[in-house]
Amino acid sequence: MKITHLVGIAIVVVGIIALVGLTQASVDDSQNKIRVAFFPSIVHAVPIIGMETQTFANNLNDDLDIEVKIFDSGPQVIESIFSNSVDIAYVGPGPVINGFLKSDGNDLKILAGAASGGASFVIQKNSGLELIENYSGKRVAAPQISNTQDVSLRHYLAENGLKSAEKGGDVFVLNIANPDIYTLFAKGDIDGAWVPEPWATMLVEELDGVRLFDENEFWPENQFSSVLLIGRSDYIEKNPEIIKKWINANEKTVQWINNHPDESKKLYNEFLKSYMGRTLPENIVEKSFSNIIITSEPLENSVYTFAERADALGYLGRDGYTLDGIFYHENISVTLNEENHDG
């Protein structure tokens, strides 16, 4: 088995490298290769650790190659699904829901979960954003519009009777990449940011930001799906056994991470060093991991709730929507053991 890593444009920013999407790969539905996409962030620990421990490779057929593609944008991942240049991917619920609806439910399905939580609202120490009445004229940021953190930020504002400036309100919402959020926060050009890990912890530990709250606090049982494993529908249909084996390896990796937290943190930094040339400080990795729940459960109710919130913001169109068929419910028997994880 051969594992190929394809990385797009690397941007070095304050101790971490953000990777932007890849150029289109040639379309290839052959069964001797599976193309997987994920992000280099800590909330994507499952695919990262699973690759580092060879769990996915060991769980698949020897003649099946794995081609890894690194992104930092959920919408870019979905476009790669649409263009048949990615077979499976790890991505947040916002882009997944948008992609499912954009394709009329035809092009992708949710296979499993990979993480819950791992996002926070971090504010400047003297911003006054602890109080809702102080939001007028403030500048707050989240990554790409309609992505997971953006929906959560705008939902929070709406729940507190606030509107963004483009909707006639007086709160300025900026949709910019995580590295740019870090830079603007450092300069004092934004008052707060709703960001995933490790960026949230970096804003707190390196820039003296204040974690106003962890997003988990706004969800039932303090859990919501933040990273989902999805597959391209036609690839799932053509390669059901490969999909079963990948889901199996996904579950094994979840178990291994939860049983080996310290080693998992080291492997994450080794991944950053190998593929991006930099590592994160140990305290950033430690605190970021503590804000994430590693789980293979897709937390279906949270996906439906997230869609309701996105719809209320006008992100899902004007004609209503349905998520019928978004979850892949093939009966899969997962045998858990750790023999493929050691070494």
Given its phi and psi angles, is residue 54 left (phi above 0), alpha (psi -120 to 50 degrees) or beta? left
Q: pLDDT tens digits, residue range 310-336? A: 999 999 988 889 999 999 987 544 444
Average pLDDT over residues 7-33: 41
Distance CA 129, CA 8 (A): 37
Using an 8 Å Cβ cutoff, are 194 and 119 in contact? yes
Distance CA 291, CA 272 (A): 19
CA distances from 144 to 153, 181, 306 (A): 12, 11, 16
Here the tokens at position 82 are 């649409």
The number of beta carbons lying within 10 Å of the beta carbon of residue 187 is 9
Q: pLDDT tens digits, residue range 243-301? A: 999 999 999 999 999 999 999 999 999 999 998 899 999 999 999 999 999 999 999 99
Mean pLDDT of the chain: 89
Delineate the domains of the chain, giving CATH numbers in brackets: 3-118+223-312 (3.40.190.10), 119-221 (3.40.190.10)
Using an 8 Å Cβ cutoff, are 171 and 123 in contact? no
Q: pLDDT tens digits, residue range 134-165? A: 999 999 999 988 888 999 999 999 999 999 99
Average pLDDT over residues 186-209: 97
Q: pLDDT tens digits, residue range 172-185? A: 999 999 999 999 99
More confident residue, 61 or 152: 152
3-class SS of residue 223: coil
Distance CA 13, CA 16 (A): 6
Distance CA 80, CA 132 (A): 39
